[in-house]
Structure 1
Amino acid sequence: MVEQASGFYAAGRTPAPTRLAATVLLLRPAVDPGGDGVEVYLIRRVPAVAFGGVYAFPGGGVDPADADADLDWVGPDPQTWAHRWGSTPSQARAVVCAAAREVFEETGVLFAGSDSATMVDAVDSPMWEEERQALLARTVSFAQLLRRHRLALRSDLLAPWSRWVTPAFERRRFDAHFFVARLPAGQATREVSGEADHGLWATPRQALDLAAAGRWQLLPPTWVNLAEVGAYADPAAVFAASADRDAARPITPDLHVDPDGTVSFVVAAS
C-alpha cells in the first residue's frame, strides 16, 4: 500500500472515479458482554476480490437494478434517506436497496416484511437459498425477489451511520455508505457468500484486539466504526445515536509516511 501510494503521488496521477457502495454493521446484543454490549457480524474477504484478506462488514457496490422504484417500501421514504445522506432520492433508494440486498447475499439475513409490524420468517430454507443464488447470479433483482413474495423492504430496520470514501491512491475506489442494523428476531446469519471465506460474530473489543495483535487485517473505516459502536450499551443505543450523526459528511483516510519510515493513516472529513 505504501509503494502504491508513493507511486501515485510521485507520478501526479488522477484519482480513479468512485463507485457508490453500501456497507452494514449488523448488530446483536453481546452474548457475553464483558464490557461490550454489542456484537458485530464480520466476514473475511477472499483474496480474489477487492480488499481481499481483510475482515469487513457485509456490503458491496450499488448495482443499477438497486434503483428500481417498483418495490414496496416500509419505513423512512427515499426523500428522508436522501436528506440523511445528502443525496438525491433515487440515489438514496439505490443505496438502501443495495444495503439490504448485500446483507441477504452475504449473510442470509433478509430485511423484509409485509408491513411495519411483521418480519419474514427464517429464510434458510432451500427455496430461499435458490432465491439468494438467483440474486447473486443477477437473474433476478432484489425488487423482483421481494415483489414475487409480496414483501416490502423494511428500511426502518436500517439507520445511517457514516460515509467513507476510498483514498485517492487506490485503483478501485468506493463512496461507501455505512448503515447499522439489528439482527431481526427469528433470523440467523449463515456463511454463504462466495466473496467471503469466513464469517463470525465478535464484540468490537475482540475484533480490535485481534487486529492490534496482527492476527486480523482491518481497513481504517472498519477499525473506526467498530470503535464507535463499541461505545454503546446495546444495539438500541446505537440506533438512537444514529439520529444525531452527520452521515452525509464523507470521510477520506490517506496514507502518511514520516521521514523515519513510520506509516500512519490520516483520517479527514470533507
Structure 2
Amino acid sequence: MTTTRDFEPPQQLRERAREWLSTPADERTAAPARLASTVLLLRESSGSTEVFMQRRVSSMKFAPSMWVFPGGGVDARDETSGVPWAGPAPREWARLMGVPEPIAQALVIAAVREVFEECGVLLAGPSADEVAPDVSGDDWQADRAALVDRSVAFAELLQRRGLLLRSDLLALQDHWITPELEPRRYDTWFFSALLPASQVADDRTSEAEEAVWRRPADALAEVRDGRTRMFPPTVVQLDRVAAWRDLTPVTASREGLAAVLPEPVDLGDRVVLRSHLND
C-alpha cells in the first residue's frame, strides 16, 4: 500500500524540473543511480527517541549544508565475500530487499562501514551475541581513518580485530532513488539501528559541520520553519520515527518495499516532486 505526497523542491531544482518537463521524454537522459546505504542510528534519552544527524559541509558537491543520516555510496571494498558475518545471511537480505545476493550483501556492509567511518559506531562484535565495547580509543580512530582513506578494507579490519559484522543489528526501513532529473543520483536503502550501549556517536568526520542527537519532532519543526534543509526521504523517515510509540520498530525490517522515485509534476503555478510512499 502506498500514499502520495508532494514536496516543494528548492529554487535551483525547481528550474531544472521545469526544463526536464519541457524536454520530450525520448530526449531526456538520466544519470545512473549509484547504490548507497544510510542508517537511522537511534537511542532513547530522557524518555524520548533521538536520532543521530549530521549537517553536511557547505562545500560538498552533493547535498551541501543538508541535514542527513550517516551513510554513503557502496564501493568496491563492500563487494567482497570475505567479511566475517553474524545475523541474517546475505541471501535473507536479498529476499527481503528483492535484489541479487551480492548487491544485498554489499548494501549491508556499506551500511555498517559508513556508520563507523562517519560517527565512530561499530555494529560488530566478537561473537553473534556480543557488540564491540567502547571503540573511541586512538587505535580505533587509526583504523577508522584507514577505512576513510581506503588504505584498509572493512573485511581486513574485522578479521584483524577478530570481529563479526552483526547484520542482526540492522533493520530495513525504506528505499528511495534520486529523481531522474538530478545530475548526481543514488539508489539508497535506509536501515535503522540502536546505538550500542557501550559506544558513543561522535562528530569526527570531515563531511559534516555539525553532528548531534535530535528529537525527530524538533528536526521536523525546523524544516517546516525553513531553518534547516532536508531531502524528502529524510523528512519521511523522521515522520515515521516521530510516530513510533517506542523503539521496537528499530529492529523490525519492513518488507515489500517499492522504490520511491520522486517525479516532477507541473501544477501550473508551481512544480512539485510527487512521491509514492511505502506505508
TM-score where L is the length of structure 2:
0.90
Q: Residue in 2 aligned with 1:39? A: 50
CA deviation after TM superposition for structure 1 residue 80, in Å:
0.2
Q: Residue in 1 aligned with 2:272? A: 264
Residue 245 of structure 1 pairs with residue 255 of structure 2: yes
Residue 29 of structure 1 pairs with residue 39 of structure 2: no
Change (3 A) 1:90 1:80: same
Q: Residue in 1 aligned with 2:207? A: 195
Range with greater deviation from structure 2 (52-61 or 10-19) = 10-19
Rounded to whole Å, the distance in 2 between the matches of 1:128 and 1:269 is: 39
Q: Residue in 2 aligned with 1:19? A: 34
CA deviation after TM superposition for structure 1 residue 65, in Å:
1.1
SS at 1:251 equivalent = coil
Task: Please give the per-residue CA displacement for 1:26-48, whole angstroms capped at 9, x wherever unaligned.
Answer: 01114353xxxx21111011123
Change (3 A) 1:63 1:220: same
Range with greater deviation from structure 2 (9-18 or 102-111) = 9-18
**Aligned AA for 1:258?**
L
Change (3 A) 1:269 1:210: closer
SS at 2:190 equivalent = strand
SS at 1:250 equivalent = coil
Unpaired segments ≥5 residues, structure 2:
1-12
Task: Please give the per-residue CA displacement for 1:136-172, whole angstroms capped at 9, x wherever unaligned.
Answer: 0001111111111111101110011110000010001
* Contact 2:67/2:230 (8 A) holds in 1: yes
**Aligned AA for 1:14?**
T
Structure 1 outlier segments of 4+, above 4 Å: none
Q: Residue in 2 aligned with 1:255? A: 264
Q: How does 1:67-86 map to 2 (within 5 A)?
A: 67-86=79-98
* RMSD, aligned α-carbons: 1.5
* Contact 2:193/2:250 (8 A) holds in 1: no
Ranked by relative contact order (alpha carbons within 8 Å, sequence separation 6 or more), the top structure is: 2
Q: Residue in 2 aligned with 1:110? A: 122
SS at 1:16 equivalent = coil
**Aligned AA for 2:259?**
P
Rounded to whole Å, the distance in 2 between the matches of 1:96 and 1:167 is: 23
CA deviation after TM superposition for structure 1 residue 110, in Å:
0.4
TM-score where L is the length of structure 1:
0.93
Q: Residue in 1 aligned with 2:110? A: 98
Rounded to whole Å, the distance in 1 between the matches of 2:176 and 2:52 is: 19
Residue 133 of structure 1 pairs with residue 148 of structure 2: no
* Contact 2:169/2:251 (8 A) holds in 1: no
Rounded to whole Å, the distance in 2 between the matches of 1:97 and 1:157 is: 12
CA deviation after TM superposition for structure 1 residue 25, in Å:
0.5
**Aligned AA for 1:267?**
S
CA deviation after TM superposition for structure 1 residue 258, in Å:
2.3
**Aligned AA for 1:46?**
V
CA deviation after TM superposition for structure 1 residue 119, in Å:
1.1
